[in-house]
A and B are shown apart, each in its own frame.
Chain A
Amino acid sequence: MMVKDLVDKFGLAVTAGESGLDREVSSGYCGDLLSEVMGNAPAGCAWMTVQGHQNIVAVAVLREMAAIIITGGQTPDDETIKKADQEGIPILLWSNSSFTLAGRLFSAGIGKPATESSSKR
């Protein structure tokens, strides 16, 4: 599934990084502690976090994530949007909790073992 498919399927708002909407999403990850995410998030994941400051973009680039989804009705800083546009990392918004979105993504097959065979990990 591509990032743009997530946008359509779950009604996410695209707020930055539109050039990366055709990135492939192979799994998901939830976390707000940046070092924990940096250490453990899988490549190709859609990362759900309440953090909206500019450092989330570097974490997403370095972990080669598919997209960042800012949850809980939080919004990214202007600097975050600028950086995400530069790096082509989509930032999507979800007004409810990470839990509710993670459940939907998982039910749609993202991160389930059967879909992981198509990823490059």
Chain B
Amino acid sequence: MPRLKKRFHIRGGDFIRAGEASINIQNLLKSMDFDPRLVRRIAICGYEGEMNVVMHGGDGSLSLEVDAEKLVLELKDSGPGIEDIDLAMQAGYSTAKDDYREMGFGAGMGLPNMKKNSDQIHIESQKSRGTTVQMIFFLSGGEKAD
């Protein structure tokens, strides 16, 4: 049984509200007294995922599920999908548009940051059908170096 389940809507192209879902999750986890290092890792993953949805995914959501053993962060979007997941996971690879790059995004570091900061990452994507990225953080034994 999940101890907690929360879902936040992410609006594609909305740079003004971008990051709010991750900030909400960070505040929630802090109030629940989780290890600050774990909260930091989750905040990084949430933000990177949220920005991916804002920039590429059209509409989507960020959800958090907590149980006794783990926290699961899941991003779902209805965007164009990732054609080559292995390529997308490579540091430096990006399909961001020029105006996003000018804002300091599109460095090809989002997915690698998410992989580095989560214990497990699962990506499912279908062309024109959207993408689901699930990241798992184990509460014990899975601690990663910052």
Tell me the A residues contacting B by CB distance below 8 Å: 32-39, 43, 49, 51, 53-55, 57-59, 61-64, 79, 87
Contacts and interface: CB of A to CB of B under 8 A. Distances in A.
Contacts of A33: 104, 107, 109
Given A35-B48, A39-B109, 11 more contacts: A34-B105, A35-B105, A38-B47, A43-B40, A51-B103, A55-B51, A55-B103, A58-B19, A62-B19, A62-B44, A63-B43
Contacts of A36: 107, 109
Interface centre among A35, A37, A38 (most CB of B within 10 A): A35
Interface in B17-46: 18-20, 22-23, 26, 40, 43-44, 46
B107 A62 contact: no
Nearest to A64: B40
B68 interface: no
A79 B113 contact: no
Interface of B: 15-16, 18-20, 22-23, 26, 40, 43-44, 46-48, 51, 103-105, 107, 109-110, 113, 116-117
**CB-based closest 10 A-B pairs:** A58-B19, A35-B109, A34-B104, A62-B43, A33-B107, A39-B113, A51-B104, A35-B107, A33-B104, A32-B104
Identify whether the interface residues of B are mostly helix, strand, loop, or mixed: helix
B107 A53 contact: no
A43 to B, nearest CB: 7
Q: At the interface, is chain A mostly helix, strand, loop or mixed?
A: helix
A55 B107 contact: no
Contacts of B51: 34-35, 55
B103 A53 contact: yes
Nearest to B23: A61
B113 to A, nearest CB: 5
Contact of A34 (B23, B43, B103): B103
A58 B22 contact: yes
Contacts of A57: 19
A62 B23 CA distance: 6
Contacts of B22: 58, 62
A38 B48 contact: yes
A61 B26 CA distance: 9
A43 B70 CA distance: 24
Contacts of A39: 44, 109, 113, 116-117
